[in-house]
Structure 1
Amino acid sequence: MSASLTERLREARARRGALLSEPSTTAFRLVNGAPDGVPDVTVDCFSGLPVVSLYRDFAPAEEQALLDAAWEAWAPRSLYLKRRPREARVLANVAREVVAPEQPARGAPVEALEALENGLRFLIRPAQGLSVGLYLDMRETRGWLRGQVQGLTVLNLFSYTCAFGVVATAGGAKRVLNVDTSRRVLDWGEENARLNGQAVDRYDYVAGDVFDWLGRLAKKGERFDVVISDPPSFSTTRSTRFSAARDYPLLAEAAARVVAPGGRLVACCNLAPLTPRRFEAMVDEGVARAGREAHPVISLGPSPVDFPSSPDAPSGLKVHVLQLR
C-alpha cells in the first residue's frame, strides 16, 4: 500500500507540470483529495514546502504511512501537518497543538518563507495554525481581479492576510480598504504589502466586525467601485454569528449598499454543500433587498490544473461577480 500511495503522490505532482515549470508562481495545490486518488487529503505547496491537511480522523499508523509516502515521493526540506476533522474549529481553541502542530511532521522547522503567485510575494507561516497565509483556490480570482481595478477604489472584506488587497494595489487600484476581525492577520497583510514594495497606510487596514463596518460605511455614504466579500463559512464575533449557508443574503445586502453605481460585487463562498445555483440565488436575493439592480459579469472558481474535481468531489469554491446599477 505504501508504494502505491507513494506513486499516487508522485503522479499528482506530475499533473501539476504547468505550474511546476512556471517560475512566477510557487504556491499551488499538490494534492486535491479524491480526484488525485487520495481521498480526505489535500496538500498545499509553498516554494517547495508541502502542508498536508487531513479531513477525517486518520489512525496513527495510517497517518504515518501517508507522511512517509509524501516524504519519499517529493523529498521536501520539511513537511507540515494539519488535522481538520469536522470539529476542528472547536479543537483549534482547546487543543491547537493536536490540530495544527507547530513542529514539522518531517524535516527541519521553518518559521516563515516567501511564496510567489503571478510574480507577487506572500509571507507564509507553516506553523502558524490551520491557515498558513494564502488560500490557493483563489489564485484564478485574484488573477482576474488584477486586470479589473486600474484607477478604482476597492473594499476587501474578510481580508485575512490581504492577498486581494496586494493584488488590487498591484493592478493599479486607487485605494484599497481591508477589513478583518483580526488585527494580527491585518499586520500580516501589511507585511505582504511591504514585501511587494507597496506603501502602507494603517487607516486602510481596519480591525472589526465586517457587518458593523459595512453599516458605518453605508451611513457615511462611502461607496467603492469593487467590493470583495470572501467570508469564512462560519464565524463568530462579539456582535454577530455568521453562517454562509444561512446568512449570505444578509451579507450581500449589506455589501451591495456600499457598491458605487456601475461598480462590482465579487461574492465568494467556499462552503462545499452549497451548490453554485443556490449560492448565486442567495447573492441575488441580498442585492435585490438592498434595492439594487444587477447583472452577472462572470463566475469564477479554482484552477483545474491543481484543483481537479469530479462528480463525486465537486469544487467547493464559488465566485459570483455582479455589476450593480
Structure 2
Amino acid sequence: MSKLREIQLPTSLKDHLVRGHPWVYRNHVPQSLHLPSGSWAKVRCGGWSGFGLWDESGSIALRIFSEQQLPDAKWLRQQVQAAWELRSPLRAKGCTAYRWLFGEGDGLPGITVDLYGDFAVIQTYMEGATALLDWLVEALRAVHPLKGILLRSRPNELREGDEKTQLLWGKPAPDTIVVQEHRLLFEVDLQTGQKTGLFLDHRENRRLVEELSDDRTVLNCFAYTGAFSLYALRGNACHVTSVDIGKGLSAAAEKNVALNDLETQKHTFVTADCFKLLDDYIQEKRLFDLVILDPPSFAKSKQNRYAALRGYTKLNAMALRCVSPGGLLVTASCTSQVSPEAFKEVIAAAGANSGKRIQIIHEAGHAIDHPVPAQFPEGRYLKFVVGKVRNRG
C-alpha cells in the first residue's frame, strides 16, 4: 500500500471541521495538489485530523469520512448496519421502499442507496465514490438479503447511448416492481424512472395529504406517477386531478390507482405543462379545495438561486389563484439552494402577488430515512409547507 498523502488545511477551517462538517472546498486546498479521484488522504488542520476521500473534479475536493481511522471494508459495513437499524420503524410499518443510506446524513458522503423490496439502487455524487463500490456492495449484502444491486447514473453523467442503470451484483430488476408504503402499493420502474423509481422523501407528507383530503377537490401538479393523488383518493377526496407533462405518466398513474382498488372515476390525469395549465385554470376561474405543488428542483447551484426564487414565487402565486376561499395550498421545494426561511418568504410574496394571505398550519423537512446532521445544514434540501388560503382583509 502506498504512503497515505497528508493534506494541511488553513486553520480558519478548524471550527468547521471540529463540528463535523464533511466538505472541504477546492479553494481551500493547495492549487498544485492533484491526486487520482478516490484516493484517501490524511487531513490536518491545527490540532484536528481526519481521513478524507479526494475528488479531482468538482467544487468539493475532499469529503471527510472519519476522524478516528482510515476507512476500510469493516468500517463501511458498520455505517451501513447503523443506517439499517435507524430505518427499523419503517420496516415495522410495512414500508418496503425507503432511502437506506442518505450520504452525509449516514456518515457516507456522496453516496445514497435506495431500497425497493429486494433490490438496492446506489447513486453516487462524487467521482471518487466509485472506489468504494466493492466495499459497499459487500456491506449491503451482509446486512440484508438482496436479489440485486444496481448503480444508477445521474443525468449529467450519461453520454449518448449510456444506460441509466447498471447491474453491480445479483440479477437484474424486472421492468417494474411493486412496493408498499403505508398500506398503499406503487409500481416503480428502477431502470428508467425519475430519481431511483419513486420520490421517497415525501412519504410522510403524502400521508398528511390523505388526512387533509376528505370531501375536497384536489389538484396535484407535477404529479409524476400519482403518489400524492393516491393518498388523496384514499383520504376520500371528491375528485383528484393529476397534472404532469411526462411521457407515459398518465398510464403509470392510472395503473397505480387501479392497483389499490381506488375509485378510478374520481381521478383524472392531464398531460400538460403545469404552468400553462394553471394559467388556463386562472382564465377559466376554476378552483380547487386543495392544490399540491411538488416541482422539480429549480436550482442546481448558487448561480441559479435567484432564478429559482422567481420561479417558485410565480408558480405559487398562480396556484393560489386556483385555491377556493378557505382552501389549502400544499407546496414543496427540493432545491437545496433555497433555505426554509427563504421558501416561506416566497410563499408570502406569492400571496401578495395573488391577493391572498396564507396561514401556515404545517411545516416539515426530512423523514427518518433522510437524516440531516446538525453540523451539515446543506443536507436540508426538502421544504414542505401547508397553508390555509384566505383573501386579504
1:66 is aligned, of 130, 136, 140, to 136
CA distance in structure 2 between the partners assigned to 1:216 and 1:92 by the alignment = 36
Match of 1:12 in 2: 83
In 2 relative to 1, CA 49–208 (structure 1 residues): closer, same or farther, beyond 3 Å? same
- Give the deviation of 1:322 after TM superposition: 1.2
The amino acid that maps onto 1:302 is H
Alignment of 1:222-261 (within 5 A): 222-234=286-298, 244-261=308-325
- Matches of 1:169 and 1:156, distance apart in 2: 11
Asked whether the equivalents of residues 226 and 256 of structure 2 are also in contact (C-alpha less than 8 Å), the reply is: yes
Q: Is this contact kept in 2: 1:150–1:172, CA < 8 A? A: yes
The one of the two structures with greater contact order (alpha-carbon pairs below 8 A, sep at least 6) is 1
Is 1:306 matched with 2:369?
A: yes
Q: 2:210 aligns with which of 132, 146, 169?
A: 146
Residues in 1 aligned to 2:216 and 2:160: alpha-carbon distance in whole angstroms: 43
- Per the alignment, do residues 244 and 48 of structure 1 end up closer, same or farther by CA in structure 2, a change over 3 Å counting? farther
Q: 1:94 to 1:256 in 2, by over 3 A?
A: farther
Give a deviation string over 1:3-59, Cα, whole Å, max 9, x none: 211221122101212122222x21211111112111111111122321111111236
- 1:169 corresponding residue in structure 2: 233
Report the alpha carbon displacement of residue 246 of structure 1 after superposing the two structures with TM.
3.6
SS at match of 1:272: coil
CA distance in 1 between partners of 2:364 and 2:239 (Å): 24
Deviations 1:49-106 (A, max 9, x none): 211111112364433333333233333111121233xxx3x44573542xx22x4221
CA distance in structure 2 between the aligned counterparts of 1:132 and 1:192, rounded to whole angstroms: 17
Give distance in 2, aligned partners of 1:151 and 1:105.
47
Q: 1:249 to 1:226 in 2, by over 3 A?
A: same
Cα distance in 2 for partners of 1:95, 1:296 equals 46
Query: Which 5+ residue runs of structure 2 have no aligned equivalent?
Result: 1-71, 300-305
Deviation at 1:272, TM superposition (A): 1.2
Among 286, 289, 295, the alignment partner of 2:353 is: 289
Question: Partner of 1:319 in structure 2?
Answer: 384
Task: Please tell me whether residue 94 in structure 1 is matched to residue 155 in structure 2.
Answer: no
Query: Contact 2:118–2:145 (CA<8 Å) still a contact in 1?
Result: no
Distance 1:269 1:93 in 2: 28
- In the TM superposition, residue 130 of structure 1 has moved relative to its aligned partner by 4.7
Of the structure 1 ranges 152-161 and 34-43, higher mean CA displacement relative to structure 2 is found in 34-43
Q: Does 1:104 align with 2:167?
A: yes
Alpha-carbon distance in structure 2 between the residues aligned to 1:92 and 1:246 = 29
Answer with 196-205 or 268-277: which moved more: 196-205
Structure 2 CA distance for aligned equivalents of residues 44 and 198 of structure 1: 27
User: What residue identity is the alignment partner of 2:354?
Assistant: A
Q: 2:272 aligns with which of 203, 208, 232?
A: 208
Deviation at 1:316, TM superposition (A): 1.0
- Residues 243-268 of structure 1: CA distance to partner in whole angstroms, max 9, x if unpaired? 63441000011111100000011110
User: Is the partner of 1:10 in helix, strand or coil?
Assistant: helix
Contact 2:223–2:294 under 8 Å retained in 1: yes
AA aligned to 1:58 is G
Seen in structure 2, the aligned counterparts of structure 1 residues 297 and 60 have a Cα distance that, compared at 3 Å, is closer
Paired letter, 2:132: E
Q: Of residues 181, 188, 213 in structure 1, which corresponds to 2:245?
A: 181
- Bigger drift between 56-65 and 139-148 goes to 56-65
Counterpart-to-counterpart distance in 1, 2:389 and 2:172: 48
Distance 1:76 1:203, change over 3 A: closer
- Can you give the 5+ residue segments of structure 1 that lack an aligned partner in the other structure? 236-241
1:116-127 aligned at under 5 Å gives the runs: 116-127=180-191
Q: TM-score, normalised by structure 2?
A: 0.74
* Structure 1 residue matching 2:167: 3-state secondary structure: coil
Residues 130/222 of structure 1: CA separation in 2 closer, same or farther (3 Å cut): closer
Q: Which residue of 1 aligns with 2:179?
A: 115
Question: Which one of 99, 115, 127 corresponds to residue 57 of structure 1?
Answer: 127
Supply the RMSD in Å over aligned alpha carbons.
Answer: 2.1
* Contact 1:96–1:129, Cα closer than 8 Å, also in 2: no
Q: Distance in 1 between matches of 2:252 and 2:352?
A: 35
1:216 to partner: Cα distance = 0.7
Q: State the alpha-carbon separation in 2 of the partners of residues 204 and 79 from structure 1.
A: 36
What CA distance in whole angstroms lies between the structure 1 residues aligned with 2:266 and 2:330?
24
Instruction: State the alpha-carbon separation in 2 of the partners of residues 257 and 195 from structure 1.
Output: 33
Q: Is the 8 A contact 2:119 2:173 kept in 1?
A: no
Shift of 1:227: 0.3
TM-fit CA distance, 1:301: 2.2
Which one is further off, 284-293 or 149-158? Answer: 284-293
Report the TM-score, using the length of structure 1 for normalisation: 0.89
Q: 1:176 to 1:202 in 2, by over 3 A?
A: closer
Structure-2 separation of matches of 1:287 and 1:32: 34
- Aligned length, in residue pairs: 310
Alpha-carbon distance in 1 for matches of 2:91, 2:310: 39
Instruction: Answer yes or no: is the 8 Å Cα contact 1:233–1:245 preserved in 2.
Output: no
Q: Tell me the residue number matched to 1:45.
A: 115
Q: Following the alignment from structure 1 to structure 2, what is the Cα–Cα distance between the partners of residues 259 and 160? A: 21
Q: Distance in 2 between matches of 1:192 and 1:92?
A: 29
